[in-house]
């Protein structure tokens, strides 16, 4: 982790929130069947190399990109900033900090203006962009809605060996605020995981302790609990019952009703609903003790071990390799897993 200077990104750049995420898939046809026909994402554009997908609330070109690759994984996570000047400021600042960056030309990612990629201090491939093409809004095209009818990209959840330091980078340097966190008991009081936001929901990114850098999942908002139930029904009748890894159940943290689904490459997607807005300035971050079973599961069966132990490798910003993962500095595997 880098030492931080007096001047910070957050003092000069306005990060609006999570923008899109790129997952790697081995078969675009199968991916289209699963993500479009069953999950219900809207296909904006298909190229030789990728599916560009959006949600029914989105007016932008895409919030999910599925890129043809040899196997599953994560190409990048992207955050939107206010303006093009913010990108310049980010580039200067990251360079000062000695972080590798790369400019992504306008259109290199379909529908997107010029963007900046950085391998951040946690090892995550993060992309910043300020503009994206507008496309038709499907919110009121109800008769075209399918599957879980995903509304918007809500968050990504990253695993890193030192999540306490990792969360401090996102908060202190980038200006993210914390809504909830899990922490070991005093006197150690070390943060095991932090839910961080720029847009006023519970999170744009969660930083959790684990093998990393890696991504645990990308989370998409659905309208209500019944959208989750219907998704499970649809997956089961279409032969994908085993793709349901965990849930439906309710998290204590974020109050979300959720289901986690793994695609055929092991990529993990969460369909998520009923969290809350974080617009109230009196809002104090909620602390959950690490041994409180209600944090993970307000109610519901214990998660399977693979939900805890498996995550998606992330790519280098040059696209030439997957970043090597390391063991966490802190251990907190619950003793109530389902093997």
Can you give the binding site for a second copy, defined by CB under 8 A? 16-17, 37-38, 57-60, 80, 82, 131-132, 134, 139-144, 151-152, 199-201, 223-226, 229-230, 232-238, 241, 244, 246, 248-250, 252, 255, 257, 274, 276-277, 279-284, 293-294, 297-302, 304, 338-339
Tokens of residue 101, six digits: 């960056």
DSSP state of 171: I
Backbone torsion region of residue 40, taken as left when φ is above 0, otherwise alpha when ψ lies between -120 and 50, otherwise beta: left
The minimum distance between CB 69 and a second copy, in angstroms, equals 27
Q: In sequence order, what are the beta bridge partners of 20?
A: 78
Q: How far apart are alpha carbons 67 and 5 in whole angstroms?
A: 36
DSSP state of 315: B
Report the sign of the C-alpha dihedral through residues 21, 275, 178, 292, in that order.
negative
CB of 106 to a second copy, least distance (A): 15
Task: Name the nearest CA neighbour of 217 among 152, 263, 178, 170.
Answer: 263
In the complex with a second copy, the residue whose CB is nearer, 109 or 164, is: 109
* Helical segments of the chain, H only: 9-12, 28-31, 84-96, 163-168, 225-237, 293-296, 305-309
Before 112, cis peptide (omega within 30)? no
């Amino acid at each position: 982790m880098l030492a931080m200077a007096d001047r910070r990104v957050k003092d000069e750049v306005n990060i609006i929130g999570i923008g899109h995420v790129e997952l790697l898939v081995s078969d675009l046809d199968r991916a289209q069947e699963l993500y479009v026909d069953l999950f219900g994402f809207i296909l904006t554009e298909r190229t030789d190399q990728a599916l560009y997908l959006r949600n029914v609330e989105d007016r932008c070109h895409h919030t999910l990109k599925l890129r043809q690759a040899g196997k599953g994984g994560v190409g990048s996570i992207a955050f939107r900033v206010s303006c093009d000047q913010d990108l310049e400021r980010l580039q200067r600042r990251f360079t000062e900090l000695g972080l590798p960056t790369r400019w992504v030309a306008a259109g290199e990612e379909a529908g997107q203006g010029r963007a900046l990629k950085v391998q951040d201090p946690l090892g995550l491939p993060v992309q910043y962009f300020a503009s994206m093409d507008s496309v038709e809004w499907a919110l009121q095209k109800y008769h075209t809605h399918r599957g879980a009818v995903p509304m918007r990209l809500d968050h990504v959840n990253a695993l890193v060996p030192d999540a306490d330091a990792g969360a401090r980078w996102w908060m202190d340097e980038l200006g993210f605020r914390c809504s909830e966190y899990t922490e070991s008991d005093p006197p150690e009081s070390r943060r095991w995981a932090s839910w961080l936001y720029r847009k006023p929901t519970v999170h744009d990114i969660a930083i959790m302790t684990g093998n990393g850098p890696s991504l645990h999942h990308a989370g998409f908002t659905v309208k209500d609990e019944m959208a989750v139930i219907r998704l499970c029904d649809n997956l089961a009748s279409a032969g994908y019952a085993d793709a349901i890894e965990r849930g439906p159940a309710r998290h204590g943290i974020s109050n979300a009703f959720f289901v986690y689904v793994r695609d055929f490459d092991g990529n993990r997607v969460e369909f998520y609903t009923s969290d809350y807005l974080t617009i109230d300035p009196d809002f104090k971050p909620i602390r959950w003790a690490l041994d409180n079973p209600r944090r993970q599961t307000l109610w519901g069966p214990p998660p399977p071990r693979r939900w805890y132990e498996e995550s998606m490798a992330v790519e280098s910003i040059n696209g030439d390799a997957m970043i090597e993962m390391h063991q966490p500095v802190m251990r907190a595997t619950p003793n109530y897993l389902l093997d």
